Structure 1
Amino acid sequence: MNIKLDKLENKKNINNFEFKYLEDGVYIQINNDAENEISLSDVLEQINKKHIREYDLEAIVNAINDKSDFVRFAPKQEEILIDEEVLIDISEDKMFGYVTLLPPDGGRNIEFDEFINKVKKKIKYGLDYEKLKEIFENKLYNKKICIAQGKKPVAGKDGYIKWYFNIENICKPQILKDGSVDYRNLNIINNVKKGELLAERIPATNGEDGITVTGENIPSIKGKEVSLKVGKNVILYENGYAAYALKDGQVVCRNGKIVVYEVFEIAGNVDNSTGNISFNGTVRIKGNVITGFYVKAMNDIEINGVVEGAVIESNGNIIVKRGIQGYHKGKLISRGNIYTKFIENSDIYADLDIHAEAIMHSKVISGNNIEVNGKKGLIVGGICKAKNEIRAKTVGSPMGTVTVLEVGIDIQLKSKYTEIKNKINEIKSNLEKLDKTIKLFTRLAKGNNLSDEKRKLLIKIIDSRKVLINQLNDLKEQLSSIEEKIKMQINGKVKVEREIFPGVKIVIGNSIMFVREKLGPCTLVNIDGEIKITPFE
């Protein structure tokens, strides 16, 4: 037997057939003019609902297949009358209530008050009485209609810290009228006085509770609290909501804690009279740091004299007012910026910028820019690497001294860019598939050929499309941000104000250029994978 067993969603095709209770038995009368085809499952459901006994399944199947008008399928029995009925459904999250009004079959219609009371027994909040009235008065049978909506909780706002000092601590040296660089007045220290307010903790808010359609309270999620942590020379008052300095000194934020460091000063040189220096604050040295010693500080290091073949390490900035003569032993490592008069025969590394008037025969690496200004502005010998830009007045020498300048791309950033790009392409592909399905379902809907099941599926597909669109927009924003950063790095530049001598090697990204003839003022950039010489900026 070839018969359709699929159930046409929740819609009961009662108009396609009806049962007749006669003296010799129960008959099924099929309406062959009905718009929709008969489903066996609908007939069986109606038989069960009417409690018809001893029915002949084969007779029913033949009647449907042969489209017979009038077929006896059960012995004589009394008809059970079915009243108008109300089905109430509540969504799994209890945020939506639905009503399905079922038509009577020989039974009575319910009264409006009875209809409302049945609904109110299960649904306590958010009822749309106008919608209920519309359903009842227009007899919107066999349609699952939303008639109540709960209230979602509103999350509280997160707490935050209000700072009363500059936690960034960014500065650049000024170039004086005579062309020299002022390394004496950088103003990089956050000086505070005893009793000064340093930070306040602004508490999180509680938010607003929600309520389900069944009347249950949904607690709101309180905003995340943030703690105000303090370290040396700082105290908390007002039940932990305010931080104050206990001593004069320099305030910094280290590893999430507010700390006031007292400055450690050395009146002369770092040599045999002092030994090595290791301090958890700022170090100020009025003399020189002699070969063989080291100075380590948790914050800035200021040296008025010269650094010889010594090791200087700082979690902040390093300032050497006279210069660095490393004798191939000197090494400076900074998690901030490095400012100095000159660098010679040394290894230098800074997370941020490196500023000098001359760099000679050294290995210099910057996580941002290298700027060689002042009267000389010279880079000669060795290798200088910067993430973004290298700027100088003169590079190399008439003797053809081998000098390497390199600016490049952040590999981790490039990897992140590729990852996001692949996600975007995947989402676009999924959106194309969804759009095709939506277009197909829309065409079916116009011809009234879209079943309830497919209509529900269409709604889910549209919701999924909205989610993907939001994800796509978020990823595009991330990609745009990364592209800007990569653009800056891809457009890494070498800027030379006066001249570049033969013997200099320029590396920008993956491209290399050897300078074979003297170049005047210029800016070297990577254009389409090739290093180009452009006017000096």
Structure 2
Amino acid sequence: MADVKAKKDRKKPVIRVSYNEMEAFMMLPMLEEDDEPYTLEEIYAAIDRAGVKSGLKTDLLEQIVKDQSCGYEHLIAEGEEAVDGIDGYFEYNFNTDLNRRPTIRPDGSVDYWSIHLVEIVEEGQVVAMYHEPIQGSNGMSVKGKLRKAKRGRPLPPLKGKGFNRSEDNLVYTSQMDGKIDMKNGRINIVPVYEVYGNADLSTGNIDFNGDVIVHGNVTTGVSIKAQGSVTVDGVVEASSIEANTDIVLRGGVLGKKRGKVMAKGCIYAKFFEYVNVEACGFIEADSFLDCNVYCEDEIKLNGKKGSIIGGRIEAIKGITANCLGNDSYKKTAVQVGMGIELLKRVNNAENELQEVQSIVDKLTEGIKQFDELGKEKNIDVKKDERRVALVRAKIAKTADLNVSKEKVEYVHKLLEKAKGADIKITKKVYPGSTVSIDSLVIVVKDEQNGVNFVINEENNLVMYPL
């Protein structure tokens, strides 16, 4: 009777489940001298009461019973972690992140060769490979609860133009030698006009619906027009360069007072001398010498020289340079903010919009009068030649009206850019320099070191030391 009572009162196996239910531990309390050994059935009963159902180490349990291993915990069950799947992805064999700004070398000079606007591929080149998704595997906790794995999701085939796709949609190859770029998940490969030498009278003028690359110089008298970008590795002489996007002139410009450089994007050049420059984006260069420059964004002269000498430089958003003018007191003018030219553009755009709107209103009224006359006389006037002419004229002028509205919207954006414009000259401002912000002007009479020209709260144009 005493033996039965001892077995009944003996401590039971202790089962502990981890907080994430991925591990289960068991400890057998120490046996007293007259206690009977633990049995496998007793252990499994304790495990069942704890709700442990999966990942049991049965061999270990048998060994524990055999050894009567008491007094410390054993890891008796391990859950299986879910293994998430891997989404499908594309591996690109071209540079998808082009460097569009020059690198400043440790000595302060600017490396214009670091600018990379155009990535070239060859016909038949593999430009992208698709790796299909890998499906994951579900897991299970020690209590038998399912751990769901994240599924690997496929990607749709690449869209764009200028490439071939294999039947299994895994391999993409270029159809041509040309420029490749990627925007909004689309790959576009288009022809590039490359000149492997100088652009001169032998090559003739270039007018190309894409990007133009000249690996030599652009000699005097040559005209280059590109619907894309223009990159010139050598020097640009007294020629005309126009681009619908960006322009990179690694060797600089010697314009001889006849050159012209115009971009609807940004312009980067080693230097500009005796040339007219216009950009809708920002301009970065090392120096300007006797240039006329108009920039609808910001001008940064960030090289060793960083100088503006002579000419007139206008940038709506601001100008940063090292030096303004020179020790010969050469007349140099800089303008930022709402200059006269910008105000003229705003007025012209708004006047044009009013004129076109007035014409559209008159045409609309004329058509309305025809329709009212038709109702009065109970006749169909829609095919009347005079009404048809009015409708056609209204359609044409409505198109003009939309263009005028876009112009007004654009110049008002420029006005927003002009707010808070300033001029930073980090080293010297020489006498003979004229500085203008909006309609306010300062003529510098004494040499200044490191100044910031701004309009203060009293609406005065002032110089603050940097």
| TM-score with structure 2 setting the length | 0.52
Which residue of 239, 244, 247 maps to 1:310?
A: 239
Q: For the structure 1 residues 230 and 527, does the alpha-carbon distance in structure 2 shift closer, same or farther, using more than 3 Å as the test?
A: same
- Corresponding residue of 1:173: 102
Tell me how far 1:398 sits from its aligned partner. Answer: 2.3
Which residue of 214, 218, 232 maps to 1:285?
A: 214
Alignment partners' CA distance in 2, 1:384 and 1:198:
48
Q: Does 1:359 align with 2:288?
A: yes
Alignment map for 1:129-278 (pairs within 5 Å)? 171-191=100-120, 194=125, 196=127, 230=160, 233-234=162-163, 245-247=174-176, 249-252=178-181, 259-278=188-207
SS at match of 1:521: strand
Determine if contact 1:198/1:244 at 8 Å carries over to the other structure.
Answer: no
Determine if contact 1:387/1:492 at 8 Å carries over to the other structure.
Answer: yes
Q: For the structure 1 residues 500 and 198, does the alpha-carbon distance in structure 2 shift closer, same or farther, using more than 3 Å as the test?
A: farther
Q: For the structure 1 residues 484 and 365, does the alpha-carbon distance in structure 2 shift closer, same or farther, using more than 3 Å as the test?
A: closer
- Corresponding residue of 1:26: none
- Corresponding residue of 1:382: 311
Alignment partners' CA distance in 2, 1:387 and 1:307:
26
Q: For the structure 1 residues 170 and 322, does the alpha-carbon distance in structure 2 shift closer, same or farther, using more than 3 Å as the test?
A: closer
Alignment partners' CA distance in 1, 2:312 and 2:221:
24
Q: Does 1:327 align with 2:256?
A: yes
- Corresponding residue of 1:492: 421
Alignment partners' CA distance in 2, 1:244 and 1:509:
53
Q: Deviations over 1:134-192 (max 9, x none)?
A: xxxxxxxxxxxxxxxxxxxxxxxxxxxx9x99999672111111111000111223456
Tell me how far 1:487 sits from its aligned partner. Answer: 7.3
Determine if contact 2:296/2:414 at 8 Å carries over to the other structure.
Answer: no
Please tell me the residue identity of whatever aligns with 1:285: V
Determine if contact 1:490/1:526 at 8 Å carries over to the other structure.
Answer: no
| TM-score with structure 1 setting the length | 0.46
SS at match of 1:533: strand
Please tell me the residue identity of whatever aligns with 1:261: V
Q: For the structure 1 residues 503 and 290, does the alpha-carbon distance in structure 2 shift closer, same or farther, using more than 3 Å as the test?
A: same
Tell me how far 1:344 sits from its aligned partner. Answer: 0.8
Alignment map for 1:374-453 (pairs within 5 Å)? 374-409=303-338
Determine if contact 1:230/1:236 at 8 Å carries over to the other structure.
Answer: no
Alignment partners' CA distance in 2, 1:380 and 1:177:
25
Determine if contact 2:99/2:115 at 8 Å carries over to the other structure.
Answer: no
Q: Deviations over 1:100-147 (max 9, x none)?
A: xxxxxxxxxxxxxxxxxxxxxxxxxxxxxxxxxxxxxxxxxxxxxxxx
- Superposed CA RMSD: 4.1
Please tell me the residue identity of whatever aligns with 2:266: N
Please tell me the residue identity of whatever aligns with 2:108: G
Alignment partners' CA distance in 2, 1:273 and 1:318:
23
SS at match of 1:307: coil
SS at match of 1:309: coil
Larger radius of gyration: 1
Please tell me the residue identity of whatever aligns with 1:269: N
Tell me how far 1:351 sits from its aligned partner. Answer: 1.5
Determine if contact 2:99/2:116 at 8 Å carries over to the other structure.
Answer: no
Q: For the structure 1 residues 170 and 390, does the alpha-carbon distance in structure 2 shift closer, same or farther, using more than 3 Å as the test?
A: farther
Q: For the structure 1 residues 181 and 251, does the alpha-carbon distance in structure 2 shift closer, same or farther, using more than 3 Å as the test?
A: same
Alignment partners' CA distance in 1, 2:271 and 2:427:
19
Q: Deviations over 1:180-237 (max 9, x none)?
A: 10001112234567454699xxxxxxxxxxxxxxxxxxxxxxxxxxxx9855x25689
Please tell me the residue identity of whatever aligns with 1:336: G
Determine if contact 2:279/2:294 at 8 Å carries over to the other structure.
Answer: yes
Tell me how far 1:535 sits from its aligned partner. Answer: 2.6
Alignment partners' CA distance in 2, 1:234 and 1:170:
24
Please tell me the residue identity of whatever aligns with 1:275: G
Determine if contact 1:195/1:246 at 8 Å carries over to the other structure.
Answer: no
Alignment partners' CA distance in 2, 1:507 and 1:253:
41
- Corresponding residue of 1:77: none
Alignment partners' CA distance in 2, 1:235 and 1:408:
49
Q: Does 1:530 align with 2:460?
A: yes
Tell me how far 1:524 sits from its aligned partner. Answer: 1.0
